Copies of this chain bind each other. A is one copy, B any other.
Amino acid sequence: MLIRKYTILVYLLIVSFSPLFGQHQLTLTNEEEKEIKQGETVELFSNSVKAAEKKLAPYLEKGVDVPTPKDLAGGYTHSQHKKNYFLMQKAGVLFQITGNEAYAEFIKNTLEKYSAQYKNWDRHPSKKSYARGKIFWQCLNDANWLVYTSQAYGSIYSWLSPKERKKLNNELFRPMADFLSVETPRFFNRLHNHSTWANAGVGMIGLVMEDEDLVQKALYGLPITDEKVKDNDGGSITKEGQKEAGFLAQIDHSFSPDGYYTEGPYYQRYAMYPFLIFALALENQQPSLEIFKYREGVLLKAVDALLQQTNASGEFFPLNDAQKGMSYYSRELQLSLALGYYYGKQDKGLLGLIKEQQRVPLNYAGYIAARDINKGLAQPFKKHSIYFSDGPKGDKGGIGVLRSDEVELIMKFSQHGMGHGHFDRLSYSLNFGKEEVLQDYGAARYVNIHQKDGGGYLKENKTWAKQTIAHNTVVVGKRSQFKGNVKKADSISPEEYIFSTDKENVQVVSAKESNAYQEVDLHRTLVLIKDSSFENPLVLDLFNVQLDTAQLLQLPYHYHGQLMFSSVDLQRATTLKPLGEKDGYQHLWNVAEGEVKGAFNQINWFDKHRFYTLNMATTEGESITLAELGANDPHFNLRRDPSIILNKQGQKGDNWMVSILETHGSYSTVTEASKNTYSTIKDVFISFQNNEYITVNFTNKQNEEWTFILSTVDNSDVKEHQLSLKDRVIKWDGPFVLFKNEIDQ
């Protein structure tokens, strides 16, 4: 081992330990345990206890197998070891809560089996990982094991004899902690969600064993070296210029000040567990660290951020690599919800979500949440428009979520998100109630389904799902942003331009991106307009592409449902060919094409009892392509989803694509009654444009007219603007204004 040079002195200077060492139990202290035992029986909590007892019952007598590690994920030894740590963790809290020593015996017996063999295990035979584990093929899983098992060990530590403890400490846990840290330093010091598990595991077992050395390593990492190594998935092991490591550095680097996790909510859900379980252990054992207040309480902010990034069904927005359908009903969220409630602001909306889960984690926060639900305190969880900055300092773009009535709009202009990022800058997706209107494809993957490449990422994840054309944003010259280069994309982010949600009738999110394409500046502004003249809030889209040279611009809309009406005369292809050869185009069939007619065009579709119309300000020469996924997909890995693509031959200078998407009407197959099947919008047009402003007018069938003005160069909230339009002089403050025109205008 090369790196053994740190000294314990450095750390002792940094944190002064609170003298709670000696308690050992990580997630349920003696006092909490007592209070739960003496307190009233709370249904939700006791049901969760019963469920855990039921899971353990088959193993209390016969114990579990501890096989010699051999298999990869999905194989027997992998699954068995995974099962073992889940069972031991449950047994630990059950021992604390019920006092039944059978649970403690179960843990002891299992640990002794591990202890007897661990010293004989070398690194796992599979060489797939840059950081091979001993129990599993990669250290990540060994770290998972330790995070769960340290909890179990803490629960029985005082119950064990000193001799038993000493043996387990010396023969199993300290060697494992060393293995995951000093013996695998590149893994332990990496700023990455996998390494967070290692930091947490090493720290937690340190707390149990009163091993301050391990706790310090966990919190602050090992000394940094400048080795350059690649992960097996191609990601760089050390961050450029990385100066710190360990758990606190993970918190610093993983979350923006708003609690946004740069890989997006799907991965955040998984990553939250080690952050929160180690934080809980620290809060219990080293309260002076005030871990839940660290960085202005970013861990608890992250819980709220995660929950706000869900649709009306509780499913996470499918940003970056994300399998659709993962939701806050996931097992992983239980801990987040309970800790978010108890250590956070006692948000009764969190109780509402916990109640829906019908289970709580078996710790004190879970008990309190169950008790308060019993008291009838639960309320529906409230979502609202919200901005999440990205980057540790919050200056690397972000995600803007606009919500109004049943409309939910998510615009993405965050950092790329490393290996799991998509080339999707300035894209947006749109939900209405529980339905997707404009989708982000998510990941091309069927997690854990063997038929589909063993459940791993499919080839089409890279060739389609990550590509720019797979997102609702402009593609320039049929190439993806950054020509698909992750490293370049990771190096620089888009910029937030406006996020304004103070006015209920006009909410705006706007961002600029000047690096994704050379000599191209993108600026998109999405406006959610609520007005009693319209059934539902409208989405006004102002997309500007500034070009140095003429280039083809294509703006796709990934919709669902059936085309109902098009003012564009769409000619259906008699044979279908792919739309291109690379950057995702090779997967799209050319279903139909037609040139726009005049300066205003509509495409109207129907999906699940509702109608949608894309109302476009158009110019001559623009055309519409209808496409469907499925070309060059030999293994049927892609869904057969449709899209509408607006084609525009971009010229040097400003190129505006302006539209209003209206959600309207209804249809019932039971009453067979249809209502408002056509859009209320009659016209959308750019009424003025220069280097500083663009004004868009739109009218409805009642001949009402509105004007939206955007300052394209000054986003100050207080700046006073003045603009002469026809015979009027308009004055306003801030970067935009929306007003309804007098009828005589």
Contacts and interface: CB of A to CB of B under 8 A. Distances in A.
Interface of A: 323-327, 329-331, 446-452, 455, 562-565, 570, 572, 574-578, 589, 591-592, 604, 606, 628, 630-634, 636, 639-640, 642, 667, 669-674, 677-678
Given A628-B640, A672-B323, A575 B577 contact: yes
A387 B74 CA distance: 46
A672 B269 CA distance: 13
A563 to B, nearest CB: 4
A475 B639 CA distance: 28
B672 A326 contact: yes
B634 A572 contact: yes
B563 A636 contact: yes
A674 B577 contact: no
B331 A671 contact: yes
Given A323-B669, A331-B671, A447-B672, 16 more contacts: A324-B669, A326-B669, A327-B669, A327-B670, A330-B670, A448-B672, A449-B606, A449-B674, A449-B677, A451-B565, A562-B636, A562-B639, A572-B634, A575-B576, A576-B576, A628-B640
Contacts of A448: 667, 672-674
A233 B324 CA distance: 47
Nearest to A589: B576
A326 B447 contact: no
A204 to B, nearest CB: 25
Contact of A572 (B633, B671, B673): B633
Given A564-B452, A575-B576, A674-B449, A325 B640 contact: no
Q: Which 6 residue pairs of A and B lie closest in terms of their CB atoms, listed nearest first?
A: A325-B669, A576-B576, A563-B636, A451-B564, A451-B565, A447-B672
A670 B667 CA distance: 31
12 contacts: A324-B669, A326-B669, A327-B670, A329-B670, A330-B671, A448-B667, A448-B673, A449-B674, A451-B604, A563-B636, A628-B640, A640-B642
Contacts of A562: 636, 639
A639 B562 CA distance: 7
Contact of A591 (B450, B630, B673, B674): B630
Contacts of A636: 562-564, 570, 572, 592
A592 B576 CA distance: 13
A593 to B, nearest CB: 13
Contacts of A606: 446, 449
A701 to B, nearest CB: 15
Contacts of A323: 669, 672
A447 B589 CA distance: 30
A674 B630 contact: no
Copies in the complex: 2
Q: Most chain-B CB neighbours within 10 Å: which of A562, A632, A636, A673?
A: A636
Nearest to A630: B591
A670 B674 CA distance: 35
A577 B575 CA distance: 5
Nearest to A327: B670
A270 to B, nearest CB: 10
Contacts of A672: 323, 326, 447-448
Contacts of A630: 591, 628
Contact of A564 (B330, B449, B642, B669): B449
A577 B564 CA distance: 24
Contacts of A674: 448-450, 455
Nearest to A314: B670
A88 to B, nearest CB: 20
A451 B669 contact: no
Contacts of A642: 640
A677 B450 contact: yes
A562 B589 CA distance: 18
Given A451-B677, A640-B628, A671-B331, A575 B572 contact: no
A604 B446 CA distance: 15
A356 to B, nearest CB: 12
A187 B326 CA distance: 59
A393 B102 CA distance: 72
Contacts of A449: 564, 606, 667, 674, 677
Nearest to A605: B636
A446 B592 CA distance: 22
Nearest to A633: B572
Contacts of A564: 446, 449, 451-452, 636
Contacts of A673: 448
A193 to B, nearest CB: 16
A407 to B, nearest CB: 23
A326 B576 contact: no
A574 B449 CA distance: 27
Nearest to A640: B640
Contacts of A671: 330-331
Contacts of A628: 630, 640
A575 B586 CA distance: 12
Question: Which of A448, A604, A633, A634 is the most central at the interface, judged by chain B CB atoms within 10 Å of its CB?
Answer: A448
A451 B612 CA distance: 13
A64 to B, nearest CB: 19
Nearest to A571: B634
Contacts of A455: 674
Nearest to A576: B576
Nearest to A591: B630
A351 to B, nearest CB: 20
A533 to B, nearest CB: 22
Interface centre among A446, A448, A670 (most CB of B within 10 A): A670
A20 B323 CA distance: 69
A446 B574 CA distance: 25
Contact of A575 (B446, B575, B591, B639): B575
Nearest to A323: B669
Nearest to A634: B572
A326 to B, nearest CB: 6
A266 B230 CA distance: 63
Nearest to A668: B325
A368 B1 CA distance: 86
A68 B29 CA distance: 84
A591 B628 CA distance: 12
Nearest to A626: B636
| Most B CB within 10 A of own CB, among A324, A451, A640, A673 | A451
Nearest to A639: B562
A628 B631 CA distance: 13
Contacts of A677: 449-451
A16 to B, nearest CB: 42
Nearest to A642: B640
Nearest to A325: B669
A108 B691 CA distance: 70
A630 B592 CA distance: 11
Nearest to A609: B325
A673 B331 CA distance: 12
